[in-house]
Each structure stands twice: as C-alpha cells, then as structure tokens.
Amino acid sequence: MIDRSPVEISVIVPIGARHADVAALYQDYRGAIESLGRSHEFVFVLDGRYPDVLASLERLQQGGEPITIVSLTRAFGESTALMAGFERTRGSIVVTLPGYYQIESNEIPRLLAALETADVAIARRWPRSGSRFESLRRSVFHRALRTMTRLEFGDLGCSARAMRRRVIEEISLYGDQHRFLAVLADRQGFRVTEVTVRQSPRDRFEGRYRLREYAHRMLDIVTVLFLVRFTKKPLRFFGMIGLTLAGIGALLLGYLIVARLGFGEPLADRPALLLTSLLVVLGLQLFAIGLLGELIIFTHARDIKDYQVESVLQFADATEPRPSDASHDQIAAR
C-alpha cells in the first residue's frame, strides 16, 4: 500500500552516471533535514540502470528508512528524472539535492530558511574551488546568461534547490532545462533568491566536457532566452532577425542596381546578386514565421498563464449583509 499522507518536506535525489556512495550521502542529507524537526520523505530517482545503487537503496528501504525508489528504464537526463520525482512527492516544500557532494550538508537548512521570503531558493557555492579553465568556463556561461536574460545568478550548475510546491506545479522541465529552473521560475513570477553556501571539499569534477557539450549549453541559453523574453512575442524575435537580414539584402541589392544602371557593370556572373536575393527571401520568411507565431499565440492566449497572483483584496459592499462579524474580506492567494 502506497503512503499518500502529507509531509512537510520532500527531498528528490536524481542518480546519474556521476554519483557518490548513496548510503553515506543519504545519511548526511537525512541528518540535515532531521535537524529541522519537520516531517519528510526522500525520493531517489535512478536515471538509468545502476544495480549497485539500487541494491544499496533497497537495503536502506528494508531497514525502515522513509525513501521511495524510482528506476527509469534508461538514462533520460536529469530534467526528466526530476519530473519523475516531482510526480511522486507529497511535501508542501520540495528540495532537490545532487547524487554526489556539491555543498556541505549542514547548509541545507539555510536553503529552507530562505523560503520564508521567497518561493525558490538556489544554492551558490562560494568560495569555489577548481581549475582556472573551469572557472573561466563558468564565468563565460553565466555572463552570457546574464546578458541574454538580465538575471543575476552565479551558480546555476548547483543542483541544491528548495522550492514551494506550487512552483513545480507550474513549471515543466525537459531536455537540459533543470539548470535553468530558477530562470523559468522567475519568468513565471515566482520570487527567486540565491543563497551563498559552503562548497563541499569532495566536490571535484575530474573529467572534461567535449566540444559538443559546450555547443549544447550555448543552444540551451538561446532556448531559455526565447522562452523568457519572446514566448508571447515571437514576432519580436523572428521579425527582428528577419528585418535585419532583409534590410541588409535590400541595401546590397540597391547597390547592385545602381552599379548596373549607373555604371554599366554586368550582374550575370556576380555571386553578390544571388547572395542579396537570398538575404531578402530569408528575411521575409523569418518575418512570416514570426507572424504565424503571433497568430498561434493570439488563438491560445486564453489558455496561457505566465503570471502568479500574490494576493487579492476584495472590496465588501456595505449595503450587503455580512454573514459574520468575524469574517474578513481578504483573500490571500499564495
């Protein structure tokens, strides 16, 4: 029988190719959560087949530990693993923690304390350790993200987060968007804060990313830029690019026409004519895509909700009788 009684805190730990000793990791995480004196549960999601990890978790479960084990048929990625964990949580507060050491476990209560004034609290490891190359890579990534989204986050690679349940009910993750959960939550109108925590001395990444991984991260940033700033205004994105290309093509085409009519220069064997025509056609096509996007958004505008209501103060008509003097005409939507 599945226990569906409510708990206060649900902890999700996705397990991927990089993972620590889950039994020791669980003991550290559990000690930090139990120090709060609040009811809790742990959900471990195995993103792939890891027989040794599964056996270790089953031993913990058989020993009476309040953990749920979710095994995916293959590796789908951390975003999918988190969504699978979200579906099986019961807590009013959801905490995501990595399957390896990133932060000191005694810093976890600080993330939860930050939810008193925020909807999402993400960890920022400071001071950071690592090679100069890794430091440069992180700096370039976050600088590009800040430039495109205008949001000041310093450590989106950290998987330690705490959030209220309504956040996961409004946000869907796919692909590699788990890194941008804070950005997506900010777009939805949730209050997001970054908490500086101590990095675990065991947080060491010894490998190296392939060139393809860097290309994927840059494409992810472009995707987040579109989702954050142009989801309901696609014409501004495609139209701006389209008009720029068409404008450049029109200027070059005008130059070629003047050169042909005014100076008698031949155009038949010049690739510039083909290039200008291509720019104009491509620009108009992108502009048309933006218009189609606007039509789709207009058609489904009533079904799109990209805001959160913090409170509603309802005026009570004095001419209407009140059912009770103890009632209040304030409705707080949280």
User: Are 240 and 217 members of one domain?
Assistant: no
Q: Which of 193, 279, 199, 295 is nearest to 241 (CA)?
A: 279
pLDDT tens-digit series, residues 227-268 = 888 888 889 889 999 999 999 999 998 988 898 888 888 877
Place of tokens 């720019």: 279
**Does position 317 have pLDDT exceeding 70, yes or no?**
no
User: Are 192 and 244 members of one domain?
Assistant: no
pLDDT at residue 1, rounded to an integer: 46
**Does position 185 have pLDDT exceeding 50, yes or no?**
yes
Is position 279 within any domain?
yes
User: Are 46 and 117 members of one domain?
Assistant: yes
- Quickly count: other Cβ atoms within 10 Å of residue 276's Cβ: 21
Rounded Cα distance, 50 and 15, in Å: 9
According to DSSP, residue 326 is labeled T
Average pLDDT, the chain: 87
Buried b (16+ CB within 10 A) or exposed e, 22-48: beebbebbbebbeeeeeebbbbbbbbb
- Quickly count: other Cβ atoms within 10 Å of residue 298's Cβ: 10
pLDDT at residue 328, rounded to an integer: 43
For Cα atoms 197, 199, 203, give the angle at the middle one, nearest 5 degrees. Answer: 150
User: Are 242 and 220 members of one domain?
Assistant: no
What stretches of the chain show up as alpha helix (H) in DSSP? 22-34, 51-62, 78-86, 108-113, 132-149, 165-170, 181-187, 211-229, 234-263, 271-299
Answer whether 24's CB lies under 8 Å from 98's CB.
no
Number of domains in the chain: 2
For Cα atoms 86, 91, 92, give the angle at the middle one, nearest 5 degrees. Answer: 105
- The pair of structure tokens assigned to 317 is 């008509």
**Partners of 122 in the beta sheet?**
161, 194
- Model's pTM, two decimal places? 0.79
User: Are 204 and 251 members of one domain?
Assistant: no
Is position 17 within any domain?
yes
User: Are 198 and 248 members of one domain?
Assistant: no
Answer whether 105's CB lies under 8 Å from 181's CB.
no
**Does position 319 have pLDDT exceeding 60, yes or no?**
no
User: Are 190 and 254 members of one domain?
Assistant: no
Q: Percent of the chain at pLDDT above 70?
A: 89
pLDDT tens-digit series, residues 211-232 = 788 788 888 888 888 888 888 8
The average pLDDT across 281-307 equals: 83
Is position 317 within any domain?
no
For Cα atoms 42, 47, 48, give the angle at the middle one, nearest 5 degrees. Answer: 130
Buried b (16+ CB within 10 A) or exposed e, 118-157: bbbbbbbbeeeeeeeeeeebbeebbeebeebbebebbbbb
User: Are 210 and 251 members of one domain?
Assistant: no
Is position 45 within any domain?
yes
- The pair of structure tokens assigned to 327 is 């009632």
pLDDT at residue 97, rounded to an integer: 98
Distance from chain centroid for Cα 92: 20
User: What is the residue range of 294's domain?
Assistant: 234-303
Is position 1 within any domain?
no
pLDDT tens-digit series, residues 130-154 = 778 888 888 999 999 899 888 999 9
Distance from chain centroid for Cα 12: 16
Q: Which of 46, 44, 34, 40 is nearest to 10 (CA)?
A: 40
Give the CATH number of the domain where residue 146 resides: 3.90.550.10
Rounded Cα distance, 32 and 36, in Å: 7
306 or 98, which is more confident? 98
pLDDT tens-digit series, residues 23-43 = 999 999 999 999 999 999 999
User: Are 202 and 239 members of one domain?
Assistant: no
Please give the single-letter amino acid code of residue 59: R
Strand order across the 40-46 sheet: 67-71, 40-46, 7-15, 91-96, 161-164, 120-125, 192-197
With cut-offs at 50, 70 and 90, classify the pLDDT of residue 166: very high
pLDDT tens-digit series, residues 62-82 = 999 989 999 999 999 999 999
Please give the single-letter amino acid code of residue 244: T
pLDDT tens-digit series, residues 92-111 = 999 999 999 999 999 999 99
